[in-house]
Amino acid sequence: MAQVIQEYLQRWDQFVDKHKDPRVDDWLLMDSVWPGTFLVLVYLFIVWVGPKLMEKRQPFQLREVLMAYNFAMVLLSLYMVIDFGRGGWLNGYTYGCQLVDYSNSPQAMTMLNVCWWFYFSKFIEMWDTFFFILRKKKAQISFLHVFHHAIMPFTWWIGVRFVGGGFGTFHAFLNSFIHFLMYIYYGLAAIGPHMHKYLWWKKYMTKMQLIQFTLVMLHCSQLLFIECPYPKVFVWIIASYGFIFFVLFLHFYIAAYLKKGKPTMLYGNGDSKVEHNGDGRHGSKTDSNSNGYHKLD
């Protein structure tokens, strides 16, 4: 068994050496997949042991921390939106068969750099889970939540290591914009109850999520009908994510806004209990120590 594993690892190293993008050789966490893998394993260990350690402790009150965290993520998300645009999506990219520019031109390096930041942000976002643990919101640490945070660093390490730019970054451009809006929502909600009157647009956030995933699937599907040498494996990974999250958010939207009288729990990196009246308006029960709803993407 050990020999089989060793041979597999050798083949992986050979594959990486043959196909890797040398421009990121010296970048943080890019030389090998193993440092990022170690961080994911640490994350999973904390998810496993954290609730046990907090079991007999009082939950932490983290309003100021959550405010700072969420508004820092607003700035990071805005930066990524701008540079995904400058790197190509608002600066010459075609929305068809857009190949990766592996040159060292300023525009190509802008795109590669923001791809790395998008990858690195997936480790920062693991703090969403840690806040759940510290505030003893164990029920919000679902399998889907943990799976999402654990798998994204792997898929995006591969993306930056091999295809840092081009067709496959369209979903990251959209996702960064959605995160920009969502973290504004979370930050405002964390401030306190007096901000709730400004959060009427929560329902439209879910609609924007659904539009985002629809656009991602449509964008990916075109490669079924046109000739394009962009690696298809990355297209299938992105399209699969888009489909899975579209179904999940559609289920949430139906439960939260279309089923009359059905109370809905909405999760952010705080906690929120909002009863809906079936028409999208908030009912009378609201926990103000919230950062909004469950972020799946």
One pLDDT digit (tens) per residue for the chain, 297 residues: 777 777 777 776 677 777 899 999 999 999 999 999 999 999 999 999 999 999 999 999 899 999 999 999 999 999 999 999 999 999 999 999 999 999 999 999 999 999 999 999 999 999 999 999 999 988 888 887 898 899 999 999 999 999 999 999 999 999 999 999 999 998 998 888 888 888 888 878 888 989 999 999 999 999 989 999 999 989 999 999 899 889 888 887 887 777 754 434 344 564 444 333 333 333 333 333 344 334 444
Helix axes 143-162, 34-54, angle to 10 degrees: 160
β pairing state of 264-265 and 273-276: antiparallel
- b/e 100-127 (16+ beta carbons within 10 angstroms → b): bbeeeeebbbbbbbbbbbbbbbbbebbb
Give the HSE-up count for residue 106: Cα atoms under 13 Å, Cβ half-sphere.
2
Residue of 19, 145, 148, 194 with catalytic role: 148
List, in sequence order, every residue forming a beta bridge with 273; answer none if it has no partner: 265
Structure tokens, 46? 């904390």
Active-site residue flag, 179: no
Domain borders along the chain are 63-255
Nearest to 89 by CA among 213, 223, 215: 215
The token pair at 176 is 């960064």
Contact 76, 117 (CB under 8 A): yes
Kindly give the residue spans of alpha helices, DSSP state H, lying in the chain. Answer: 2-19, 34-54, 63-84, 106-124, 127-134, 143-162, 170-191, 202-221, 232-253
